[in-house]
Copies of this chain bind each other. A is one copy, B any other.
Amino acid sequence: MQTELEELAAINRGADGSCCRLALTDADRRGRDLVVSWMRNAELDVNIDRIGNIIGTRAGTQSGPPVMTGSHIDTVATGGRYDGAYGVVAGIEVVRALNARKVLTKRPLAVVVFTNEEGVRFAPDMMGSLVYAGGLLLEDALQAVSEDGAVLGEELARIGYAGSKRCGEIRPHAFVELHIEQGPVLDRANEVLAVVQDLQGISWQEVNIRGVSNHAGTTPMNLRHDAAYGAGMVTVFVRKLAQRMGGSQVATIGSVRLVPNLVNVIAREAKLTVDLRNSDDAALSAAEQELEAFLVEIADAEGLIIETKRLVRTQPVRFDDRILETIEQVAAKLGHGEIRRMTSGAGHDAQMMARICPAAMIFVPSVNGISHNPKEFTLPRHLEDGANVLLHAMKRIANE
């Protein structure tokens, strides 16, 4: 696997070692060409669908829907070498291992590379799997326009990946995605593997606070309508809210902009973003409501006008219990004991596939939780452990 990850990373590598394979660029094409060559060497039957997803299929002893694995190979502008690529390379490695041992499964197996998971060049993210699962019309996806004016459908044709297969024609028996965690939990806990039981629902809001600009020296504290103070209170509130709620609830104020943003002027405007996530939809809604009530309260107490705008709201995704249990059993059998069940805070193609088939994910550690960064790193033996669990889980599901 290390050889393949290195070959992918060498394409368009940045001076700082970063990977830049934005979706449907020439760098993406070169990555795709490599993956297709590896698939063919592994005797997979390669098909490209109309959104450019690459599906390599290995026949089983019986016909019917395959057990599918895979991920994506596009990256952010200064990405790491494991995010996405690991799941694809490990999927091909699974096939190679079975080939080497001449093992055939009952059901067919498939390895997929989904188009444009990162969503950096073309929106939305997870596009290939979303179209595959029927959540986005192919026609709409093909008309997506990048900031540089490129049209997705044209770029797909240009790089030679406008396939002819109908999207989602193969409805898998099950889908298992292997991925690096992109967070610090496993690394901190010194654990090798986790099974992902769900993905958080995401709530993004923009909060606009309007107060009154005034002189920082001449305006008594009790006569202020300070938008910056409102922003500070919201920042402290969401932290306390997440801590009080516990569970998978996280809350982040990532962006704050003050107007006029001067040392000696009370801010008349603060624009901030609130990112709330929870794997329990009711809890996430409750968090949103608590925030709303708090905003009303401070608007009243401080004489501020506060408006919110919803930017994103997605439902949590719950993965399939039987697949989760299979992964756990296989991991235990391979000597990993009882592995952690966890929630993914990031989005993945598997959440789209969960709409059309039983799905789940396997995580391996990210050192220091760093991802979307050239410093992204996972120990080679953890990569091997993850691929091995994937192999045995797929075999078991395919033979059921």
Q: Which residues of B contact A251 (CB under 8 A)?
A: 221
Contact residues, A97-127 vs B (CB, 8 A)? none
Residues of the B chain whose Cβ atoms lie less than 8 Å from the Cβ of A183: 214-215, 217-220
Please classify the interface of chain A as helix (H, G, I), strand (E, B), loop, or mixed, using the class held by over half of its residues.
mixed
Report yes or no: B311 in contact with A263, Cβ–Cβ below 8 A.
Answer: yes
A372 touches B254 (CB 8 A): no
* Nearest CB in chain B to that of A275: its residue: B216
Interface segment out of the listed A38-46, A146-154, A234-242, A391-399: A234-242
Cβ-defined contact, B239 with A369, below 8 A = no
CB proximity to B under 8 Å, residues A161-193: 181-185, 188
Contacts of A387 in B (CB 8 A): none
Specify the chain B residue showing the minimal Cβ separation from A255: B261
* B232 and A253 contacting across the interface, CB-CB below 8 Å: yes
Contact A184 B217 (CB under 8 A): no
Chain B's closest residue to A237 (CB) is: B232
- Would A215 and B345 be within 8 Å (CB), given that A185-B220, A221-B242, A235-B231 are in contact? yes
Chain B positions within 8 Å of A346 at CB level = 215, 217-218
Task: Please tell me if A204 contacts chain B, counting CB pairs below 8 Å.
Answer: yes
Bound complex: CA A216 to CA B253 (Å): 9
Interface residues on A, range: 35 or more
* Contacts known (A218-B346, A255-B263); A236 close to B236, Cβ less than 8 A: yes
A250 with B200: in contact, given A229-B235, A233-B236, A369-B214 (CB under 8 Å)? no
A272 smallest CB distance to B (angstroms): 9
Q: Are A184 and B220 in contact (CB under 8 A)?
A: yes
- Cβ contacts under 8 Å, A372 to chain B: 215
CB distance from A204 to the nearest CB of B (A): 6
In this assembly, does A262 line the interface, its C-beta being within 8 Å of a C-beta of chain B?
A: yes
CB of A25 within 8 A of chain B? Answer: no
Identity of the chain B residue whose Cβ is nearest the Cβ of A243 in the assembled complex? B221
Whether A264 sits at the interface, judged by CB under 8 Å, is yes
Q: Do B256 and A263 have beta carbons less than 8 Å apart? A: no
A224-278 residues with Cβ-Cβ distance < 8 A to B are 226, 228-229, 231-236, 239, 242-243, 249-258, 261-267, 273, 275, 277
**Told that A216-B254, A217-B275 touch, could you supply 17 new A-B pairs with CB distance under 8 A?**
A182-B218, A183-B214, A185-B223, A214-B370, A215-B346, A217-B347, A219-B250, A221-B250, A221-B251, A228-B253, A228-B254, A229-B235, A229-B236, A229-B239, A254-B264, A255-B258, A255-B262
Residues on A lying within 8 angstroms of B by beta carbon are 181-185, 188, 200, 202, 204, 214-221, 223, 226, 228-229, 231-236, 239, 242-243, 249-258, 261-267, 273, 275, 277, 311, 344-347, 369-372
